[in-house]
Structure 1
């Protein structure tokens, strides 16, 4: 059994990832507000839910340290908290950028920093971020600048962490889905071809592979699902 943290656990992707990790026989330490989306795991002895504001560095740090002390070893972390907003160069304000960075980067950084050091000391661990296609393709980013730039930080952060862990059995990855097939996205984009979108359950399979020891031979930072 592996001890795996999942943030953003009650989002569409979070629910799918929690289900898959539990089905694999692992323990899930979830972060997310309470709600019926996680009702399926309520009575599972390998599941626990924490309500933490991960944009607050001290709160995130305390959570990570508490979990590390409780279980002794954290084997993986799926850091899924994020947000989206449209913005082009004409209407984007600095406040828009700061908001996106708080949601898409700070929530990952605040948890990853203590976990990474813990994993290095144990010579074992996997950290996984969720990227975005527009973060690497400028023609797609022009109408979602703040979102794309905030997501691009995760790619650089993953590469820096991997360089810092050179020679260790610690790896940081970025999973980059196509548009995720969720009820909200279908409502917002009713004319899109839903068959080309990434289903949460399929993305969860990728997380399952990453957290499995079979993925140890893979040293790449980015898993493109498009």
Structure 2
């Protein structure tokens, strides 16, 4: 079976741009899902990239967006669920608004995208789903809302790996540490920047997990910490 298109959520972000570029360099069409805006529009003007604006935390909106994907001249066999967010906050500082926002941004976006993508990937004969957790989801000091919502993504990944096995869908997570992005550089020290992981390096791991070479791998949470 020929390699199909890749659906990338959160495609307008720094890691999203790197992931889209990695798949396009390999000749795979990409469906870029993200909130509407110029960054998504710019992606959609690239050759082989189909931009679909959507609120990824809204289940009904995601279902509608995937109906739009069905009308595109591509056949996706992979989902890369990158959409997510970060907010600081210790136990004393966390409140309902921040917790709810991070839960929807990190967990709901992955869940609704996987729910919509899985039957479509299975109908094509199988493929891959890759989610993005975090190093803080599994170890070390962390902020409450981000770490716990990302931990839920990691557990969702292992649950889906079992549930979707019959449909020949592999489900894995990558666990970044600090990523070298323009937003992160605003607060990182020069030493932290030097040790941060390049989005392009993470993109290569994600692309591998979506490739036939990764056929034996499912249910894994793969550290992409680099030297950070």
**Global fold match (TM > 0.5):** yes
Task: Pick which of 56-65 and 182-191 moved more.
Answer: 182-191
- 1:144-202, CA deviations, whole angstroms, 9 ceiling, x for partnerless residues? 10111111111111111111123442111111112000122121122543232110110
1:56 Cα deviation from its structure 2 partner: 1.2
1:40 Cα deviation from its structure 2 partner: 6.6
Which of 28, 45, 49 is the matching residue for 1:42? Answer: 45
1:34 Cα deviation from its structure 2 partner: 3.3
- 1:98-154, CA deviations, whole angstroms, 9 ceiling, x for partnerless residues? 1111100111111110211332344412111111111111x412xx10111111111
Q: Which runs of 5+ in 2 are unaligned?
A: none
Q: Is contact 2:127-2:168 (8 Å) kept?
A: yes
Q: Distance in 1 between matches of 2:39 and 2:122?
A: 36
Q: 1:6 to 1:42 in 2, by over 3 A?
A: same
Q: Distance in 1 between matches of 2:74 and 2:29?
A: 13
Q: Distance in 1 between matches of 2:207 and 2:154?
A: 20
Q: Distance in 1 between matches of 2:124 and 2:40?
A: 33
Task: Pick which of 65-74 and 81-90 moved more.
Answer: 65-74
Q: Distance in 2 between matches of 1:49 and 1:161?
A: 26
What secondary structure sits across from 1:75 in the alignment? Answer: strand
Q: How does 1:58-77 map to 2 (within 5 A)?
A: 58-68=60-70, 70-71=72-73, 73-77=75-79
Q: Which runs of 5+ in 1 are unaligned?
A: none
> Aligned pair 1:157/2:156, yes or no?
yes
> Aligned pair 1:83/2:85, yes or no?
yes
1:208 Cα deviation from its structure 2 partner: 1.4
Q: What TM-score comes out, normalization by structure 1 length?
A: 0.90
Q: 1:135 to 1:179 in 2, by over 3 A?
A: same
Q: How does 1:107-186 map to 2 (within 5 A)?
A: 107-137=109-139, 139-141=140-142, 144-186=143-185
1:70 Cα deviation from its structure 2 partner: 4.0
How large is the Cα RMSD of the aligned pairs?
Answer: 2.0
Q: Is contact 2:12-2:43 (8 Å) kept?
A: no
